[in-house]
Amino acid sequence: MPILPDIDDVRAAAVRLRGEAITTPLLSSPIVDARLGGRLLIKAECLQRTGSFKFRGAYNALVQLDAQRRQAGGIAYSSGNHAQGVAAAAQCLGMPATIVMPADAPAIKVANTRAYGAEIVFYDRYSESREDIAQRIARDSGAELLPPYDDVRIIAGQGTVGLEIAMEAQARDLTLDAVVASCSGGGLVTGCALAVKAMNPQTLVYAAEPQGLDDMRRSLESGTHVANDPAARSICDALLAPTPGVLTFALAQRLLAGSIAVSDDSVRTAMAVAFEDYKLVVEPGGAAALAAVLSGKLDIKGKTIAVVASGGNVDRGLFKAALEA
């Protein structure tokens, strides 16, 4: 059985991130609440450094390296948000970084990763293995390999999102019926579940995934790892991991109430609601949790539910199309 992170790891990560990560707001809209018949809270991680929650896990991992390991740098594979998180965290710590990115990654994510000083190695996501490429570079260079989700340090760092949600709800004297977070490999949602369930055992935690790429949902239902169809597509470019991680699936089985599959159309609607009612720019993958509630797949009537808007790195054309749709 692999060693899994616990709430103490999340709390230690919160200490390391103090003064480095932004404590993002937990937003509400009386208009939306009246429309839904419940209280909806949005954790605006799209306002985090680099525009997504990924900075938290990356910094928590890299800051624990000693001086010698830092000199060798860090390497990661990512479609964009983990790339930016690792690049920015490495820049904060004075480390070099190399990122393996798909050739079709959103232009804004590629540009931002370069702006943080990282070297980019492109690959074809449909014919090449990003893991193999990154592992080869790590062996040759001695750099620290930072997987996007299946790492105790990464999961603990992402869990600080859930810790902040639970602490703010407690400060506002709110009882959370449920928390929903987007899920690709599962680092964010399982990290959040660690924190939320430790503080509020009765709160249900759900993952949100794109339809057709809902490997966590199908894996939980079957009790074993299930992979996505390689031909499946979604506008949620940040949520395309083929299967849950070893660590994240073990945590999900223990902590999650389930996973909700959302359509691309419901994601576009969620992006528009986030913009119009909460004044947030949210990317497709970042809007999946909000889509789970707005689509009615998770009943909010008479309840208080918090959702994580996990990222805001979206190309202008795609964002414009979502609003117009």
Residues identified as active-site = 54, 310
How far is Cα of residue 63 from the mean position of the Cα atoms in its chain? 20
> E strands along 34-130, which residues?
39-44, 74-77, 97-102, 119-123
Distance CA 309, CA 286 (A): 5
The four Cα atoms 112, 118, 120, 121 give a dihedral, to 10 degrees, of -150
The tokens describing 266, both together, are: 């419901």
Q: Are 153 and 6 in contact (CB under 8 A)?
A: no
Side-chain-side CA neighbours of residue 189 (13 Å) = 38
The tokens describing 127, both together, are: 């014919």
The four Cα atoms 97, 100, 103, 109 give a dihedral, to 10 degrees, of -40
Q: H or E element: which one contains 14?
A: helix 7-17
Radius of gyration of the chain, Cα coordinates, nearest whole angstrom:
18
Distance CA 207, CA 185 (A): 11
Q: Are 234 and 262 in contact (CB under 8 A)?
A: no
Q: Are 258 and 206 in contact (CB under 8 A)?
A: yes
